[in-house]
Chain A
Amino acid sequence: MGKASKRQETLGARALALVSDLTFRRGVLSILIFLTLWEIGFRFNEWFGVLVPFVGKVDAPSIVAARWSEVVLLPGYWESWYLSMGRVFLGFLVAQIIGIPFGLAMAVNKYFRGMFFPPFEILRPIPPLAWVPASIIFWPTTELSIMFVTFLGAFYTIVINVLGGARAVDIQYLRAAQSMGATQWDLFRKIILPGTLPSIFIGAAVGMGITWEVVLAAEMISGGGQQSGGGLGFFIWSSYMGGVMDQVIVGMISIGLAGYISSSLIRYIGYRSMPWRRMF
């Protein structure tokens, strides 16, 4: 929409703009302050004479960083990233592919809703992790059962958001479109679908968060498959079993980063596909 010139900025100029951006600087500063407090807490074990309850027992950032610099050289660490990412994205993708049409169908058709909403609502409160034992039995491989549990984590949130979003589309938009001669198909494609898009992205953002929670727990419980590197969840678990506390923290921060990358990706896609709603 006439914003092509904006895209012509070089990458360097963009990076420069980012570094000089106040919000970015504030973000970096707050992380630095946090790390400093953590470091001090560990070094002195008390703040102003008061024993530091939690931070004092956790390895300092400098120790974690040192460990991390060793860990990044291990292929197993990156394999864990790769495995967890793969499980999250596949589970999430399948949840989107099934969940969005399912939610939309329930929103626009009362017979379909009457048929599928009650069982959906009964299954929904069952935590995805409660499915772990059953899914290990159901599915032929551990990999598939982890993915299934991951899928469940995102699926319910996606469906509920799509259903709610589609039903909340203002009836005035539908009437306006109908009074201008829109057919049922036009209404669905041009009104309900774009009207639901914000809810689809909210569902995706929340669902992605749940997916990470679920995949980690599933990996810990199942042992993460047959290979040595069984995902980030298994990485943390085996570090804990081996008593390598700083490596546990490396794993935790890795998950934080992975989750951040995933949700940034969703925000970016949302930003691109909803130009009228540049607020995410």
Chain B
Amino acid sequence: MRRKIYLLVALIVLGTAIGFAQSNALIDQVLGQKKVGFSYATYLVLSAAGIIKDTATPEQAIEALKQQNWGISVPEEPTDISLGKYAYLLMKAFDIPGGLMYKLIPGPRYAAREIAYLGFVTENPSPYRSLSGEEALQILHNALAWKEGQK
């Protein structure tokens, strides 16, 4: 019986360690991407928002995104994410109110405008450009800090 308990504890610890290592390996991949992938960006935002666990995979993040019914089109093939779509993910995930045009026509264009206005983006605020993994993480960081400040 004791052996079984020890084995169970070992399995839990091992599983946790693997889960830990998995999320950091993903962050390592994101940081290495010059143009962050759609699935990786989705993983970042959804795990930051607590919608998925940080031990999830990017593929699981895509599935979770489809279930949110946010009106964000998911690409069939692996591709980069634009700043606009990343901004839209952030706006939806963190319930950021947005401007008048975002309320009337919610979408990547006005989501990018909003995050630029809020100061999350310090580089070119064009919604059509790609962004690096480093920049995506920094924008997410700024969004989390802003959300914290709203409390």
Q: Do the two shown chains form a genuine complex with each other?
A: no
A residues sitting closer than 8 Å to B (CB atoms) are none
B residues sitting closer than 8 Å to A (CB atoms) are none
